[in-house]
Amino acid sequence: MEYAKMTAVLCRHFGLKHLEVAEDIASDTFLKASEHWAINGIPKNPTAWLYTVAKNKARDYFKHRAVFETKIKDNLKPGDPEPFNKFEFGDQMISDSQLAMIFAVCNPDNSKESQICLALQILCGFSLEEIGNAFLTKKETIKKRLLRARKNLRNNDFQIQTLSKTAIKSRLNTVLKTLYLLFNEGYFSKTNNKPIRKELCSEAIRLTLLLTDNALTNTPETNALLSLMCFQSSRLEARINDKGESILFEEQNRELWDKALIERGNYYLINATNSNETSKYHLEAGIAYWHTTPAVENKWKHILNLYNQLVLIDYSPITALNRTFAFAKVYGHEKAITEAKSLSLIHSNYYHELLGFLYAEKNVDKAIVHYNRAIDLTKSKVEKQTLTKEIKRLKKSKGQ
């Protein structure tokens, strides 16, 4: 995350046209850290150490290679980045740079998918694999998409500049989608064998919170997304046990849920309902709200109704599977099995996990078959461990 923040500040100064220079300086900074810290130990304030080194490297780059004089200075135009001697790292500068970069990268010169891919890579530090997981797309496809997007911005002499009200409003949906995907990768990570990456969730909330501080971006949709993030984050501590294994929703210790975050979720959800607008974030926040409430009559009917609306306006395989789980809570496992099979998502590990769960009550053998298939399909080490544990439990229940 510090790499992404550092790159954002450097890009704000250099302009995205010189993105590779900014990325090289950030990479060199972390390379020096790995070498220096291995010998001398981690400094008391590693973040400050990194930014000091980055600032010095940026200064040396221009001083010794004369890049500023030979390639940039003569071509400066009004609105170009300020001279290097005014360049500073600071908390406000970092926050401003990240938001400015997100909006700038969400440039209509590229497709919406490419805009989000660029923002996830440059501003959020996502790898090709993480971006591929977010879009359910192969890494090679993502790589080509990123190369084209960068080329388009360079060819159009892209610079970071103050956007008009119209431009901000037209790009806000893409910015929100980027922050949504950033949060999702933290909440349910598919990489690095870490089912939860709290730092990504925190970063997504921080950036979304900044949007609520600006009148142009403090929209019902922004508040709905922030509400969703708060509700979901409230359960982070309860989702993993001491061994790093995932804990199913119904088995979570509710004492570990963060009540303050649930209250904040309620606050932003109320703010989100001050208009007639209903977005996917409103519906997902509503679903998350019902998950954090105590057991009440018709709770799952409310959740299923929200899922029914969600699949109509923003269908995805995961949404359809989650809807089927809610369907099972309302109409029973047997009817839900028919509902799940109609989706025919046979190449999805989540599809087989759901069928394993639905079959577990009446047909243990079929449940085990589906759980084993899910193990074969998932790349997550933690998921494999959790499913293997469930198979052992089912076999024990049969006396095997």
Q: Let me know if residue 175 belongs to a domain.
A: no
Asked which of 124, 145, 167 is the last residue of a domain, the reply is: 167
Stretch 229-251: mean pLDDT: 86
Q: Is there a domain that residue 239 lies in?
A: no
**Residue 252 domain-assigned (yes or no):** no
Share of the chain above pLDDT 90, in %: 40
353 domain residue, yes or no: yes
Best-predicted range by mean pLDDT among 37-41, 164-168, 234-238, 280-284? 280-284
Q: Which residue has the tokens 């993480």?
A: 130
pLDDT above 50: residue 237 = yes
DSSP 225-263: HHHHHHHHHTTGGGSB-TTS-B--GGGS-GGGS-HHHHH
pLDDT at 364: 94
Domain that holds residue 383: 315-400
Which residue from 217, 223, 221 is spatially nearest to 270, judged by alpha carbons?
223
Token pair for 303 = 């959740």
3-state helix, strand, coil in the chain (%, to 5): 70, 0, 25
- What string of DSSP letters covers 283-338? HHHHHHHHHHSPP-TTHHHHHHHHHHHHHHHS--HHHHHHHHHHHHHHH-HHHHHH
pLDDT one-digit tens code per residue, 333-388: 999 999 999 999 999 999 999 999 999 988 999 999 999 999 999 988 888 888 99
Position 296 in a domain: no
Q: Which residues contact 361 (CB under 8 A, 6 or more apart)?
A: 333
pLDDT at residue 87, rounded to an integer = 53
In the DSSP assignment, the letter for residue 362 is T
Q: Evaluate whether residue 290 is within a structural domain.
A: no
pLDDT at res. 85: 46
Choosing from 167, 193, 220, the residue where a domain stops is 167
Q: How far apart are CA 381 and CA 362, in angstroms?
A: 28
231/378 Cα distance (integer angstroms): 27
CATH of the domain at 390: 1.25.40.10
Domains in the chain: how many in total? 2
- Give me the phi and psi of 258, to 5 degrees please: -85, 105
| Predicted confidence band of residue 185 (pLDDT cuts 50, 70, 90) | confident
- Between CA 293 and CA 295 the distance in angstroms is 7
The answer on pLDDT for 70 being more than 70 is: no
Residue 82: per-residue pLDDT = 45
Q: In residues, how long is the chain?
A: 400
Residue 65 has a CB neighbour count (10 Å cut-off) of 12
The pLDDT of residue 269 is above 90: yes
Tell whether 183 is covered by a domain.
no
Tell me the two tokens of residue 238.
Answer: 């309860």
What is the distance between the alpha carbons of residues 49 and 342, in angstroms, rounded to a whole number? 55
Last residue of a domain, one of 167, 193, 221: 167
Q: What is the pLDDT of residues 286-341, one digit of tens each?
A: 999 999 988 778 899 999 999 999 999 999 999 999 999 999 999 999 999 999 99
Q: What is the C-alpha to C-alpha distance for residues 10 and 32, in angstroms, rounded to an integer? A: 17
Q: Is residue 52 part of a domain?
A: yes
Residue whose entry in the numeric block shows the structure tokens 């926050």: 95
Nearest to 285 by CA among 216, 203, 183: 183
User: What is the per-residue pLDDT for 210?
Assistant: 87
Nearest residue to 149 (alpha-carbon basis) of 185, 107, 120: 107
Residue 246 forms beta bridges with which residues?
240
End-to-end CA distance of the chain: 47
Quick one: pLDDT at residue 156?
A: 66
pLDDT in tens, 44-63: 988 888 888 888 887 777 67
